[in-house]
């Protein structure tokens, strides 16, 4: 390939990727399936690795990959980064508005009549609760990202900010400004924050108090590879320097302009006249606060016209043309009354704090999570302590810190309970683990319930209709203890349950009966062995072929299976060494739980290994999940979207855009009948 051709293709790929980034991150309306985006991305990366001198810093491939920096450099802000004054009530906002109108005086009045006094047009924005940063672009290329710092000097965090996927490395559009400084907020969306904390808790690491701390902690890393793994997003909210674009007369217009250049702005921004509009905006956003994907701590109200902003100017460190209009706080102080421990499926103890009820952001909170025992030790939280709790929307309230100076006399550190609060068995906590567990195993009713819920769940034995409520009652009434007991249930056992009826009981019994016919991977998954998820269960079943072979395998044999390491292997071997587990398995088989022989089906050969299949539309003879499972058992990968690499698309009724994709890429399309043929030819 000629160098010129490569250079041209690289340019073309970068432009395409930028366009698709814009569709995805700014407009929230992607045109391409992820797999196709990945294909373009990999092609670019491949060309760049073969022609390193054609790599540029603004290439979409260059987000991560930089080395850790030795220390943060300081950056002087050309224009200081100010903060905002706050108002907390309708009255205070009315005062703000009156002061602004007084100052504007005649300037505002032009064109208004006496009966309707002139009103200010405001740009109303959510106040994102993250970290303010400044981004400087020269000739459309991101040159520098900095924190606010003290407003005059901040820290250079370009290496981390480059890893935030919706921060454009290069601006798009026909004309890019020679110089542009955009400011905005880096936030961690609630969902990503929850996931990050769950992962930290599972590893026994410290959890973050709230999404803002998590965002700040991520940007304060010297190593950009850490920031790259954190789910961060950037929202632009102001333009402070712009040279080379059509002048815009308003804040609202400026935001639309930067959106065109590739910046994400909040979808909640509205423009309207006067205090009533602002109050309605405030109430609307407050009502929807919990359902927004990111945290906000109020709204920001800005005088929209830039000439009015200029006229109003600044007072000390804050503009007179804008104010934060804050919501009630999401943190509150209360007392810790007690700590209870909940027991999960694998016996893991989760400490739950009982609190003196306190209102946080309009909701009364009386429980909070402490994640794991490590967290209790780290904070040294004690009964009677005054503590700060944090609650946001659907995030479970958590204890953030202890106010040690308010600690009453005579408190003692909280001990790890010696016995399970549910069954009284010993609590175990291996030296190197954060998680303490009840050693009672399936003797413990709490673990029984969780294990049974897992056993009957859709992706395990799939006992239709046997929901959590029934399991709870069945265990509480001592009608069942283990999964094997399910298969001895009789109608007269079920009828006394609350809200049970003849018909329901019949249906449940039929569903239990039907579940006896299962598959080895499902059965293995249903056993609820620690560390054995669906994918691992499938790999193990395929590798060994029979349950007896799996039960007989030692750690080293288990480690021969794809993706099974020492931790998983130990967990499986330990499980099958417990006499109690062996007894339950024997009873399950005795009571008719069975699965087809994998060997007989030639399953272990995996005839479709290495192929990627895509299912679309609905099938008549089975659900998509069932088809997926069968294809996977034959070794195929089942993907969600079509790409050039797809081996085959199965089109059911009302197949959608994937069919068009298949045509575009020239991928084979088959119907349900042909799928059934493929499956039956492999004994499925
Ligand atoms: S404008 C001079 N708009 O709130 C005006 N700030 O104390 C500067 N913030 O540090 C800020 N959302 O981090 C503005 N839509 C928004 C905002 C916003 C969040 C933060 C920003 C600033 C703090 C104000």
Q: Name the closest-CA residue to atom 23, ligand 1.
A: 83
Which residue out of 76, 127, 628, 644 is catalytically annotated? 127
Q: Is-contact 386 335, C-beta < 8 A?
A: yes
User: What is the bridge-based pairing of β-strands 322-326 and 86-87?
Assistant: parallel
Tokens 């902690």, located at residue: 217
Read off the pLDDT of each residue in 627-634 and give the average, rounded to a whole number: 84
Q: Name the closest-CA residue to atom 9, ligand 1.
A: 127
Beta bridge partners of 648: 613, 668
Please determine, for residue 603, whether its predicted confidence score (pLDDT) is greater than 60.
Answer: no
Q: Is 128 in the pocket of ligand 1 (CB under 6 A)?
A: yes
Q: Name the closest-CA residue to atom 4, ligand 1.
A: 127
88, 123, 127, best to mutate for ligand 1 pocket (most atoms within 8 Å of CB): 127
Among residues 183, 89, 200, which one has the least CA distance to residue 128? 183
The pTM score is 0.63
Tokens 């080293």, located at residue: 556
State both tokens at 153.
């000097």
Q: Is-contact 288 50, C-beta < 8 A?
A: no
> Distance between CA atoms of 307 and 247, rounded to whole angstroms?
12
Among residues 100, 128, 123, 132, which one has the least CA distance to residue 253? 123
Please determine, for residue 604, whether its predicted confidence score (pLDDT) is greater than 90.
Answer: no
Q: Name the closest-CA residue to atom 3, ligand 1.
A: 237
Please determine, for residue 271, whether its predicted confidence score (pLDDT) is greater than 90.
Answer: yes
**Distance (Å) from CA 329 to ligand 1 centroid:** 17
Q: Is 300 in the pocket of ligand 1 (CB under 6 A)?
A: yes
Confidence of residue 662 (pLDDT cuts 50, 70, 90): confident
Please determine, for residue 681, whether its predicted confidence score (pLDDT) is greater than 70.
Answer: no
Please determine, for residue 573, whether its predicted confidence score (pLDDT) is greater than 90.
Answer: yes
Q: Is 179 in the pocket of ligand 1 (CB under 6 A)?
A: no
Which pLDDT value is given to residue 30? 80
Confidence of residue 21 (pLDDT cuts 50, 70, 90): confident
**Distance (Å) from CA 130 to ligand 1 centroid:** 9
Instruction: Mean pLDDT check: name the lowest of 260-269, 392-401, 566-575.
Output: 392-401
Nearest-atom index, ligand 1, CA of 266: 15
Beta strands in 139-284 (DSSP E): 141-147, 153-155, 179-187, 233-243, 270-273
Please report, rounded to a whole number, the percentage of residues in the chain having pLDDT higher than 70. 96
- 519-535 pLDDT tens trace: 999 999 999 998 899 88
67-95 in b/e form (b: 16+ CB < 10 A) is: eebeebeebebeeebbebeebeeeeebee
**Distance (Å) from CA 418 to ligand 1 centroid:** 50
> Distance between CA atoms of 139 and 276, rounded to whole angstroms?
42
Nearest-atom index, ligand 1, CA of 131: 13
Instruction: Mean pLDDT check: name the lowest of 5-14, 66-75, 297-306.
Output: 66-75
Which pLDDT value is given to residue 52? 87
Confidence of residue 113 (pLDDT cuts 50, 70, 90): low
Nearest-atom index, ligand 1, CA of 130: 13
User: What is the bridge-based pairing of β-strands 612-616 and 648-651?
Assistant: parallel
Among residues 191, 208, 567, which one has the least CA distance to residue 371? 208
Residue 549: what are its φ and ψ, rounded to 5°? -65, -40
Confidence of residue 23 (pLDDT cuts 50, 70, 90): confident
Percent of the chain as helix, strand, coil, to the nearest 5:
40, 20, 40
State both tokens at 142.
């991101």
Q: Name the closest-CA residue to atom 12, ligand 1.
A: 127
Q: Is 82 in the pocket of ligand 1 (CB under 6 A)?
A: yes
Question: For 517, which DSSP code?
Answer: B
User: What is the bridge-based pairing of β-strands 270-273 and 121-128?
Assistant: antiparallel
State both tokens at 506.
């019949």
**Distance (Å) from CA 74 to ligand 1 centroid:** 21
Q: How far is CA 645 from CA 517, 607, 625, in A?
A: 35, 18, 22
**Distance (Å) from CA 147 to ligand 1 centroid:** 13
Which pLDDT value is given to residue 179? 96
Among residues 299, 303, 297, 296, which one has the least CA distance to residue 319? 303
Looking at domain 86-326, its CATH superfamily turns out to be DNA ligase/mRNA capping enzyme (3.30.470.30)
What mean pLDDT value characterizes the chain?
A: 90
Q: Is 132 in the pocket of ligand 1 (CB under 6 A)?
A: yes
Which pLDDT value is given to residue 317? 81
Domain 3-62 has CATH 1.10.3720.10: no
Fold of the domain spanning 441-514? DNA polymerase; domain 1 (1.10.150)
Fold of the domain spanning 520-590? DNA polymerase; domain 1 (1.10.150)
Please determine, for residue 112, whether its predicted confidence score (pLDDT) is greater than 60.
Answer: no
Q: Is 83 in the pocket of ligand 1 (CB under 6 A)?
A: yes
Read off the pLDDT of each residue in 411-430 and give the average, rounded to a whole number: 92
527's CB contacts (< 8 A; 6+ apart) are 455, 575, 581, 585
Which pLDDT value is given to residue 435? 83
**Distance (Å) from CA 286 to ligand 1 centroid:** 17
300, 306, 314, 316, best to mutate for ligand 1 pocket (most atoms within 8 Å of CB): 300
**Distance (Å) from CA 132 to ligand 1 centroid:** 7
* DSSP structure string for 272-319: EEHHHHHHHHHHHHHHHGGGSSS-EEEEEEEESBHHHHHHH-EETTEE
Please determine, for residue 255, whether its predicted confidence score (pLDDT) is greater than 90.
Answer: yes
Q: Is 368 in the pocket of ligand 1 (CB under 6 A)?
A: no
The helix (run of H) or strand (run of E) holding residue 681 is: helix 672-681
> Distance between CA atoms of 661 and 33, rounded to whole angstroms?
9
Nearest-atom index, ligand 1, CA of 84: 7
124, 324, 325, 327, best to mutate for ligand 1 pocket (most atoms within 8 Å of CB): 324
Q: Is-contact 658 32, C-beta < 8 A?
A: no
Asked if the domains 441-514 and 520-590 are classified in one and the same CATH topology, the answer is yes
129, 181, 185, 263, best to mutate for ligand 1 pocket (most atoms within 8 Å of CB): 185
Q: Is 269 in the pocket of ligand 1 (CB under 6 A)?
A: no
* DSSP structure string for 431-459: TT-S--EETTGGGSHHHHHHHHHHHHSTT
**Segments making up each domain of the chain, as ranges:** 3-62, 86-326, 331-428, 441-514, 520-590, 612-681
State both tokens at 453.
């819920």
Please report, rounded to a whole number, the percentage of residues in the chain having pLDDT higher than 90. 59
Distance from CA of residue 162 to its chain's centroid? 21
Q: Is 434 in the pocket of ligand 1 (CB under 6 A)?
A: no
Q: Name the closest-CA residue to atom 17, ligand 1.
A: 127
**206 is an active site residue:** no
Q: Is 258 in the pocket of ligand 1 (CB under 6 A)?
A: no
Nearest-atom index, ligand 1, CA of 322: 5
Fold of the domain spanning 612-681? Rossmann fold (3.40.50)
Which pLDDT value is given to residue 684? 67
Pick the CATH number of 331-428 from 3.40.50.300, 3.40.190.10, 2.40.50.140, 1.10.10.10: 2.40.50.140
Q: Name the closest-CA residue to atom 13, ligand 1.
A: 132
Q: Is 26 in the pocket of ligand 1 (CB under 6 A)?
A: no
Q: Is 84 in the pocket of ligand 1 (CB under 6 A)?
A: yes
Q: Is 238 in the pocket of ligand 1 (CB under 6 A)?
A: yes
Q: Is 237 in the pocket of ligand 1 (CB under 6 A)?
A: yes
Beta bridge partners of 182: 135, 239
């Amino acid at each position: 390939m000629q160098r010129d051709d490569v250079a041209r293709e690289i340019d073309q790929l970068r432009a395409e990727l930028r366009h698709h980034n814009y569709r995805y991150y700014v407009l929230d309306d992607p045109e391409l399936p992820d797999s196709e985006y990945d294909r373009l991305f990999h092609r670019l990366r491949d060309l760049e690795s073969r022609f390193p001198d054609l790599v540029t810093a603004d290439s979409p491939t260059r987000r991560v990959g930089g080395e850790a920096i030795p220390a943060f450099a300081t950056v002087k802000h050309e224009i200081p980064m100010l903060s905002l004054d706050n108002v907390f009530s309708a009255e205070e906002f009315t005062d703000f508005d009156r002061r602004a109108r007084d100052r504007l005086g005649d300037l505002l009045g032009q064109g208004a009549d006496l009966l309707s006094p002139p009103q200010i047009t405001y740009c109303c924005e959510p106040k994102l609760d993250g970290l303010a940063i400044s981004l400087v672009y020269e000739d459309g290329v991101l040159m520098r990202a900095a924190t606010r710092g003290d407003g005059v000097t901040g820290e250079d965090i370009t290496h981390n900010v480059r890893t935030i996927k919706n921060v454009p490395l290069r601006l798009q559009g026909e004309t890019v400004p020679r110089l542009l400084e955009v400011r905005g907020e880096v936030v961690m969306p609630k969902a990503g924050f929850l996931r990050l904390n769950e992962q930290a808790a599972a590893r026994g690491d410290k959890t973050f108090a709230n999404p803002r701390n998590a965002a700040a902690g991520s940007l304060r890393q010297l190593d950009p590879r850490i920031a790259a793994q954190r789910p961060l997003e950037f929202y632009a909210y102001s333009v402070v320097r712009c040279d080379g674009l059509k002048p815009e007369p308003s804040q609202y217009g400026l935001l639309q302009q930067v959106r065109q250049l590739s910046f994400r702005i909040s979808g909640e921004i509205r423009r309207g006249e006067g205090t009533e509009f602002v109050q309605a905006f405030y109430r609307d956003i407050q009502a929807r606060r919990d359902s927004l994907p990111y945290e906000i701590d109020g709204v920001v109200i800005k005088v929209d016209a830039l000439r009015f902003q200029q006229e109003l100017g600044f007072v000390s460190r804050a503009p007179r043309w804008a104010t934060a209009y804050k919501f009630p706080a999401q943190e509150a102080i209360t007392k810790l009354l007690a700590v209870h421990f909940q027991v999960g499926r694998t016996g893991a103890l989760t400490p739950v704090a009982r609190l003196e009820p306190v209102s946080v952001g309009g909701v009364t909170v009386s429980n909070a999570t402490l994640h794991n025992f490590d967290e209790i030790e780290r904070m040294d939280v004690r009964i009677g302590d005054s503590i700060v709790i944090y609650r946001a929307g659907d995030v479970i309230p958590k204890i953030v810190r202890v106010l040690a100076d308010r600690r009453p006399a005579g408190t003692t550190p909280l001990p790890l309970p010696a016995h399970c609060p549910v069954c009284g068995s010993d609590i175990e906590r291996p030296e190197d683990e954060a998680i303490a567990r009840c050693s009672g195993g399936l003797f413990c009713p709490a673990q029984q319930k969780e294990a049974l819920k897992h056993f009957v769940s859709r992706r395990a034995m799939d006992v239709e209709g046997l929901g959590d409520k029934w399991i709870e009652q069945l265990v509480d009434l001592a009608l069942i203890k283990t999964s094997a007991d399910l298969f001895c249930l009789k109608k007269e056992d079920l009828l006394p349950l609350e809200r049970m009826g003849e018909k329901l009981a019949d249906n449940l019994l039929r569903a239990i009966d039907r579940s006896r016919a299962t598959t080895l991977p499902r059965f293995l998954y249903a056993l609820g062995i620690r560390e054995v998820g669906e994918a691992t269960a499938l790999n193990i079943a395929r590798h060994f072929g029979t349950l007896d072979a799996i039960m007989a395998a030692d750690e080293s044999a288990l480690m021969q299976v794809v993706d099974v390491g020492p931790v998983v292997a130990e967990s499986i071997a330990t499980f099958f060494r417990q006499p109690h587990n062996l007894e339950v398995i024997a009873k399950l088989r005795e009571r008719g739980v069975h699965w087809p022989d994998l060997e007989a089906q030639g399953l272990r050969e995996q005839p479709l290994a290495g192929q990627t299949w895509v299912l679309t539309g609905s099938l008549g003879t089975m659900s998509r999940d069932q088809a997926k499972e069968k294809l996977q058992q034959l070794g195929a990968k089942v993907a969600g979207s079509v790409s050039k690499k797809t081996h085959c698309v199965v089109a059911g009724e009302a197949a959608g855009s994937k069919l068009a994709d298949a045509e575009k890429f020239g991928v084979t399309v088959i119907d349900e009948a042909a799928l059934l043929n493929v499956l039956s030819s492999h004994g499925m």
